[in-house]
Structure 1
């Protein structure tokens, strides 16, 4: 029994020694195997499998391990497919490639590290999915694209072409070990999204495309694409998906709208801007924090988030301005910036200003309403939920805005500004605007209320006459279809009205409006006085762009004014007649109806010739008899009567025509 056990132990020992010897022999074979003898067979095999020439030009060596192998290539040339512009995918003095062994069983190529010395790399992508770096004969096959972790480059150049994306870039790369943590410098020139691009910067000697568990590598960039300039410095964990970004940035350009083509973020058109802050990216979510800067003449600050992981990308955030300048709002509604806004940001070439851009004209008259078309592609490109607040609004000229806020929501191609809240003339303008871009032309609805605006602030030129008004209330409820502000208003229907109650008004201005010579002379000699404003209303029924006056009354203790007529929003023309009815007796009066016509861009005003001519002829005839009798023709007996203010305001509050009522009700649908 003991002998049997001893024999078993000896057998096991012999087997163990044999296996160890075999293992040692395999190690010696691996270590001393003349790998270079496989160079030609490898060249033929790779060329056959890929359908393009592959050649190790000088020497092949392999360091073989249990899990991976390091392939050392002294001289390498790997041709591109015949359809590519550059003849070589890669051509380098030397290369080292770490390859995972076990994934090869599943025909997957995993390269944790790729080192190239003085390479020339030609990368190209086609619209049909073909890529030069796909290793199979079918270069559109996803399964033939290797997974690369890290890339080390010691000098050389890289070309990348994607015509369907408007990308054609050439990069020169240099390595200098004396430059510390970022020894690799690069210069890029070409076109990106069909805009000229130049860039330069530095990075660490190892660039991580897909490297899990590795520390992020440093990166600096100074780039210009078209009129957009970017400076950034920080770290990046992975280049292939730009994952793990943590960097400071300085971004400036002519309009934030330009970022749509560059970055895919659908932002509105703006005045020139300069923004700085910190940007980070984790997985599919970009975050901008501590952002501050300028939009034209306005300051801007806040935080933003852009989620690319959803089916439709989503932008969210909160922005705030301490001071917002009205000159910066033009581009938001399709107008060029003013000269002040265009030149407000240093380091940015000023775009053409509103004074330099030739506005559309119609029949020789300048067009006022913005004609810039809505960008439906951008409205459908993403969703958004952004809040904006301005603590103070300046440079408001004739419109005394105090502060404002708006909640912008874009969901499934429907844009809403709700609530829209502006402080105007110590009162408020509140409401909502809705643009449904799922329809072409877009379905646009607006519902705006005017609350308690102080007229002496709303009309500062009258305020200089030391007048004191009451408050103004009103509303705008419009709906229609269009692809611009002009085309929408040109076909919109609904209700527009503004009313005011009791207040004060300049008598001097009133007498000028009534062409009362005696009253003007009296006030010039004795000073201006105020008269009481009993009530006023300006209200229109709007039907397919035609604003027909339904209640146009201005009633004071001195004179009552009645107007009739219309404004055509499509043609931008005016056609109004204003009739004055004085309530007092006066001489030297040439009161006659006022005619307001022309266009929005070039309005005209005058008096009706017939009544004025009749008084003039009468004065001439009486003057021929006795010069003093000529004054009789200018005597005004004062036939005007007080308006029924309750009836005036009632008619102003409610549209009359069915088209206006239907349009107004639909316009109210802008509110959620």
Structure 2
């Protein structure tokens, strides 16, 4: 009776509990029992297909488990062991992304409950990983879905104890022309007194040149989340060598690092295949600095090095947050060798005739060429893959012939359009300044150039063996050209525009004969007395119209006290052939012919100055010469600098030319002395 009453009492209390609560409690108890039974299971082979399907959905790739799957989940450190794990590649490439013989993972459950993934143990046996990038920029290691792309370096979880045996890494990057086969070793355990360091060692090819990498990191055992992870790296790619010694600021986050960097090589342009940045052609270089990387920004602080014989300092930043990387550089040089800039224009750049690949920069004399203008075709397609802003200032400049005090260049590159504005070369007396614009958005680039010479004293140009300069006076000039092509020579070969120069007043000296190899001054009738060693130039003007690569002399005149010197001819910028004639027209009637026309032939690289001994040379009378001069002279002065028209000497020549204009249509007067 007592037992029946107790049972009835319990049943009554159970019945008083709401039915919904009773069912909920029963379900929860059942789930706990089933979960406990499930977590106690160690053999999970029956669930391999389901686990692989879950991983496939998570990674957007086919995942297979060909071996055993075991787990111990009822623990504060759940542990999973997988054998024969394979992660496939995306549809656009063959093979597997990863093939792992055995993988053991144990997780810190307490850390996981606080939102942090910490791997207490990570053991990997004989992993084979293939990292592949194709010409379209697709990466097989990008597991994001199409609308959720991220180029940020992966942030890996903390690993307490890490062991890897027999690791192999294969890298293939079609854009950077890189293939790499590496071996990875890392064996660490708290049981041993000394842990072996992490090592990645491998070899391959980069743009057809031998490539080698050695990466050494500290032991990963007992790593701290708030302490940097130190590493050393050595890279060799052809004749380029680089070393780095630093640390990842946050362990296992490859996007945050600080390292000392030292790189040397034959040509900065060769770094394109390592960095993806279109750097200029240079002579051999060596640069060092402190490299910092964080949140898609890479900064090279305290840059210090040499390019050729020029020193270089400054800071370089690379922003990777946009579709194209953007390079920003502020560079300074205490002593810049102007010749070190010439490879950037294609001068002395060697190209493999079979493959078309750029070789090392070499001295111009080492290349058989009859052209002064560089013929190397720039790889403008690289400019379309990045943006840039750069400034360069040189305190002093080393040159062989042209005296230059300082250089300032500002460069901007955006959307395949390169603008240099301004370009300033400051001379001891005067300066050259201008802009250059290269539109490389199409296969064949379009270029514009506008350069001015202002207040340039001619007496600062003289050979080392000359006692005095051959010319004196103030030179003003302007060159305005447009053209298409992918080399300096090609652009000039079809250029259009004009080139004008004015010397408001100056002198032609006896030393000019030393410069040309013949007595040009006496040939033109300038120097009559034996003791006369110079002749005054009242105003000199040269006007050249450029059309389809032919620079035609529209007007060339030097007004002296006794002779009006005229020039005619053209310069073929395609063949670089010179065909110029210079003659003197006496201002007063002379009984004797003391002048002989001067010719300038040859090429831009090797001009030849000679004397025209033919009897066919004829000269226009002084009035006709002045009359033909007026229009181009007035236009030239306005084009270069409107203020030059007010110069006393040039204004006088302009007035004489205007006065000599025929009032009615008359025949030209031909004088034969």
Indicate the TM-score class for this superposition, using the shorter chain for normalisation.
Answer: 0.7 to 0.9
Residue in 2 that maps onto 1:289: 301
Distance 1:566-1:373 versus aligned 2 partners, 3 A rule: same
Match of residue 503 from structure 1 = 506
Answer yes or no: is 1:159 the counterpart of 2:169.
yes
Residues 314-342 of structure 1, C-alpha deviation per residue, up to 9 Å, x if partnerless? 2223111111101111111111269xxxx
Match of 2:184 among 163, 166, 173: 173
CA distance in 1, matches of 2:143, 2:412: 42
Output one character per residue of 1:94-138: Cα deviation in whole Å (capped at 9) or x when no partner.
Answer: 63353989999xxxx988566225433232547496848979xx9
CA contact (8 A) 1:432 1:446 kept: yes
Change (3 A) 1:605 1:84: same
Pairwise mapping of residues 75-86 of structure 1 onto structure 2 (< 5 A)?
76-79=83-86, 81=88
| Number of the residue aligned with 1:471 | 474
Instruction: Give the superposition deviation at 1:190.
Output: 1.6
Provide the C-alpha distance between the structure 2 equivalents of 1:302 and 1:334, rounded to a whole number of angstroms.
Answer: 25
Change (3 A) 1:546 1:612: closer
1:550, distance to aligned residue in structure 2 (A):
2.2
Deviation at 1:441, TM superposition (A): 2.9
1:656-671 correspondence to structure 2 within 5 Å: none
Cα deviation, residue 460, structure 1: 3.7
The question of whether the paired residues in 2 share the 8 Å contact of 1:491 and 1:545 is answered with yes
Paired residue secondary structure (1:268): coil
**Which of 370, 392, 400 is residue 396 of structure 2 equivalent to?**
392
Equivalent residue number for residue 267 of structure 2: 255
In the other structure, the counterpart of 1:373 is 377
- C-alpha contact (below 8 Å) 1:182/1:203 kept by paired residues: no
* Higher mean C-alpha displacement, 178-187 vs 192-201: 178-187
Check 1:466–1:476 CA distance in 2 against 1; reply closer, same or farther (3 A cut): closer
TM-score, normalization by structure 1? 0.73
Q: Distance in 1 between matches of 2:111 and 2:460?
A: 79
Corresponding residue number in structure 1 for 2:326: 314
Q: 1:565 to 1:142 in 2, by over 3 A?
A: closer
Relative to structure 1, is the Cα distance of residues 124 and 431 closer, same or farther in structure 2, using a 3 angstrom cutoff? Answer: closer
Distance 1:575 1:459 in 2: 25
- TM-superposition CA deviations, 1:61-118 (whole Å, max 9, x none): 525457x733246xx33246598557971124x63353989999xxxx9885662254
1:187 aligns with 2:209: no
Equivalent residue number for residue 598 of structure 1 = 602
Q: What's the CA shift for 1:518?
A: 12
Instruction: Describe the SS at the equivalent of 1:355.
Output: helix
Matched position secondary structure for 2:455 = strand
Cα shift readout 1:421-473 (whole Å, capped 9, x = no counterpart): 11135210111111122345322111111111110113446962366722111
1:667 aligned partner? none
2:78 pairs with one of 48, 61, 69: 69
- Contact 2:79 2:104 (8 Å CA) reproduced: no
**Residue 191 and residue 517 in structure 1: after superposition, are their counterparts in 2 closer, same or farther (change >3 A)?**
closer
1:470 is paired with a residue whose SS is strand
Q: Conserved in 2, the CA contact under 8 Å of 1:156 and 1:174?
A: yes
Greater helix content: 1
Equivalent position to 1:227, from 239, 248, 273? 239
Deviations 1:496-531 (A, max 9, x none): 1111122333236468115569999985xx6x7333
**Counterpart in 1 of 2:485?**
482
Query: 1 CA distance for matches of 2:142 and 2:578?
Result: 66
Is the Cα–Cα contact under 8 Å of residues 234 and 245 in structure 1 kept in the other structure? Answer: yes
The alpha-carbon deviation at position 278 of structure 1 amounts to 0.8
| C-alpha contact 2:84 2:100 (8 A) present in aligned 1 | yes
RMSD: 4.9
In 2: Cα distance, 1:496 partner to 1:613 partner: 27
Residue 327 in 1 paired to residue 339 in 2?
Answer: yes
Range 512-521 or range 278-287, more displaced: 512-521
Q: Does 1:444 align with 2:455?
A: no
| Cα distance in 1 between the residues matched to 2:476 and 2:383 | 33
Decide whether aligned partners of structure 1 residues 180 and 297 sit closer, same or farther in structure 2, where only a CA change above 3 A counts: farther
Q: Corresponding residue for 1:547?
A: 551
Secondary structure, counterpart of 1:401 in structure 2: coil
Q: Is the 8 A contact 1:312 1:383 kept in 2?
A: yes
Measure the CA separation in 1 of the matches of 2:378 and 2:172.
29
> How far does residue 179 in structure 1 lie from its aligned partner after superposition?
11
Partner of 2:46 in structure 1? 41
Query: Partners in 1 of 2:64 and 2:580 — Cα distance?
Result: 82
> Relative contact order: is structure 1 or structure 2 higher (C-alpha 8 Å, sep ≥ 6)?
1
Q: Which residue of 2 aligns with 1:353?
A: 363
Pairwise mapping of residues 106-121 of structure 1 onto structure 2 (< 5 A)? 112=119, 115-121=122-128
2:637 alignment partner in structure 1: 653
Q: Is the 8 A contact 1:286 1:306 kept in 2?
A: yes
Per-residue displacement from partner, 1:470-509 (whole Å, max 9, x unpaired)?
2111111122332222222222222211111223332364
CA distance in 2, matches of 1:61, 1:132: 27
Gap regions ≥5 residues in structure 1: 339-348, 360-365, 615-638, 657-672
| Aligned ranges 1:446-465 → 2 under 5 Å | 446-460=449-463, 464-465=467-468
SS at match of 2:519: helix
**More divergent stretch after superposition (112-121 vs 422-431):** 112-121
1:270 aligns with 2:282: yes
Q: 1:512 aligns with which of 487, 508, 519?
A: 519
Aligned to 1:402: 405
Q: Please list, as runs of the form range in 1=range in 2, the aligned pairs for 1:564-643 lying within 5 A after superposition.
A: 564-581=568-585, 591-611=595-615
Task: Say if 1:111 and 1:148, in contact at 8 Å, map to a contact too.
Answer: no
2:211 maps to: 197
Measure the CA separation in 2 of the matches of 1:442 and 1:520: 49
CA-CA distance at 1:298 after TM superposition = 0.7
Query: What is the number of equivalent residue pairs in this alignment?
Result: 583
**Structure 1 match to 2:3:** none
What SS does the aligned partner of 1:91 have? strand
State the alpha-carbon separation in 2 of the partners of residues 436 and 100 from structure 1.
58
Q: Of 279, 299, 314, which aligns to 1:302?
A: 314
Distance in 2 between the 1:202 and 1:555 partners?
Answer: 75
Query: Secondary structure in 1 aligned to 2:402?
Result: coil
- Given the two structures, how large is their TM-score scaled by the length of structure 2? 0.73
Give the Cα separation in 2 of the matches to 1:463 and 1:566.
Answer: 30
Tell me, yes or no, if the aligned pair for 2:99 and 2:129 is still in contact at 8 Å.
yes
